[in-house]
C-alpha cells in the first residue's frame, strides 16, 4: 500500500519535500550559529548595553511560541524582501521563493537558542587562555580562531547536535505558513487519498531516520574532537 502510493507520484513529492526541509534546516542551523557567534562576541564587547540587548533578545525569543514568531517574522521579512526587490529592480514581478523569508525567520528564532548555548560555552573558557595567546604575539582574531574557538567547539558539539535536531523539527512549522515541506506534503496526501496513517507514517519515518542518522554523526564528531584534544 505504502509502495503503491510512493510509486504513483507521491514518492517524488516526498523527495522534493524532503529536499525543502533539509535545505531549510541546513541554512537555518548555519545562520543561527553565525547569529549566536556574532551576538555572544558582541555581548562580551566594550559596547555598553550590548549585553542587555542580547539578553532581552534571547529572553523574549525563548519565551514566545515559535509558531507565533515564525508567522510574525515571515510576513515582516516577506514584505521587506518584496519592497527591496521592487526598489532594486524597479518591477514587482520578480518572485522570491517563500522559502527565503521562511529560512530567515527560523534562523532568527533558533539564533536565540544558539546565542544562549555559545554564551555559556564561552564563559567556560578561562580568560587566561586568550591572554596567554595575546602575550605570545597572536592577534585578537588569531587568538579567537586558533585558541578560543576550538575549545568552544569541543564543548559545544553535543549541544550543537540537539540544536541541529531542533532545526529540523522547526522546519515542520513552516508547513503552517504554506511552504511544502515533509509535514505539509504528508497532510495533503492524507487529505486527498484518505489514508492518513500511510502518509503521516512516511513523514514520521523520515524524521526518525533523520534523527538516528544525525545523532550517529554527532557522536562520531564528539569522539573525534576528544581524540584530537591533546594534539592542538
Partner 1 sequence: MEVMVSYAWEISSGLVTTIGLFLISLVFGFFLASAMAFLQIFFRGVVSEGIWSLMFCIRGVPMLLILYVMYYGLPEVPLVRNTFLWDIFASPFWCTVVCLSVVEMAFTSEIMRGSYYQTPKEQLEAARSLGLNGFQTFRVAILPAMIRNGFAAYTTEVIMLCKSTALAFTVTVMDVMGYANEIRSRTLDTYQPLIVAGVIYVCLAIATRTAMAGIFSKIAVSGRDRVMAL
Q: Crossing angle of helices 149-170/99-124, nearest 10°? A: 140
Please report whether residue 62 would count as binding partner 1 according to CB under 8 A.
Answer: yes
CB nearer partner 1, residue 56 or residue 129 = 56
Which part of the chain contacts partner 1 (CB under 8 A), choosing from 5-13, 134-142, 147-155, 169-177?
169-177
| Residue 214 CB burial class (10 angstroms; 0-12, 13-18, ≥19) | middle
Distances (CA, A) of 175 to 18, 110, 111: 12, 17, 20
- Polymer length of the chain: 232
> Does 165 engage in binding with partner 1 (CB under 8 A)?
yes
Q: Return the residue matching grid coordinates 509558531.
A: 67
Instruction: Determine the interface stretch with partner 1 among 39-47, 67-75, 132-140, 145-153 (rule: CB under 8 A).
Output: 67-75
Q: Give yes or no for residue 110 binding partner 1 (CB under 8 A).
A: no
At 125 the three-state DSSP class reads coil
Residue 57 is a binding residue for partner 1 (CB under 8 A): no
Stretch that binds partner 1, among 27-35, 58-66, 88-96, 100-108 (CB under 8 A): 58-66
| Site residues, partner 1 (CB under 8 A) | 60, 62-69, 71-72, 75-76, 165, 169-170, 172-173, 175-176, 183, 186-187, 190-191, 196-197, 200, 203-204, 207-208, 210-212, 215
Amino acid at each position: 500500500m505504502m509502495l503503491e502510493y510512493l510509486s504513483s507520484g507521491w514518492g517524488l513529492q516526498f523527495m522534493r519535500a524532503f529536499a525543502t526541509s533539509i535545505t531549510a534546516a541546513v541554512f537555518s542551523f548555519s545562520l543561527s550559529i553565525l547569529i549566536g557567534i556574532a551576538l555572544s562576541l558582541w555581548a562580551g564587547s566594550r559596547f555598553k548595553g550590548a549585553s542587555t540587548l542580547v539578553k532581552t533578545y534571547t529572553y523574549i525569543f525563548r519565551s514566545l511560541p515559535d509558531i507565533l514568531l515564525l508567522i510574525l517574522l515571515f510576513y515582516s521579512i516577506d514584505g521587506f524582501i518584496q519592497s527591496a526587490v521592487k526598489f532594486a529592480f524597479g518591477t514587482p514581478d520578480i518572485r522570491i521563493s517563500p522559502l527565503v523569508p521562511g529560512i530567515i525567520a527560523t534562523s532568527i528564532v533558533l539564533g536565540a537558542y544558539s546565542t544562549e548555548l555559545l554564551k555559556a560555552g564561552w564563559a567556560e573558557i578561562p580568560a587566561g587562555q586568550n591572554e596567554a595567546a595575546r602575550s605570545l604575539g597572536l592577534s585578537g582574531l588569531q587568538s579567537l580562531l586558533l585558541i578560543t574557538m576550538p575549545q568552544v567547539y569541543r564543548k559545544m558539539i553535543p549541544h550543537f547536535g540537539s540544536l541541529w535536531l531542533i532545526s529540523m523539527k522547526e522546519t515542520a512549522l513552516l508547513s503552517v505558513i504554506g511552504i511544502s515541506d515533509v509535514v505539509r506534503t504528508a497532510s495533503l496526501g492524507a487529505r486527498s487519498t484518505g489514508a492518513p496513517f500511510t502518509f503521516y507514517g512516511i513523514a514520521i519515518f523520515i524524521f526518525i531516520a533523520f534523527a538516528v542518522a544525525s545523532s550517529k554523526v554527532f557522536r562520531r564528531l564528539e569522539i573525534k574532537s576528544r581524540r584530537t584534544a591533546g594534539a592542538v
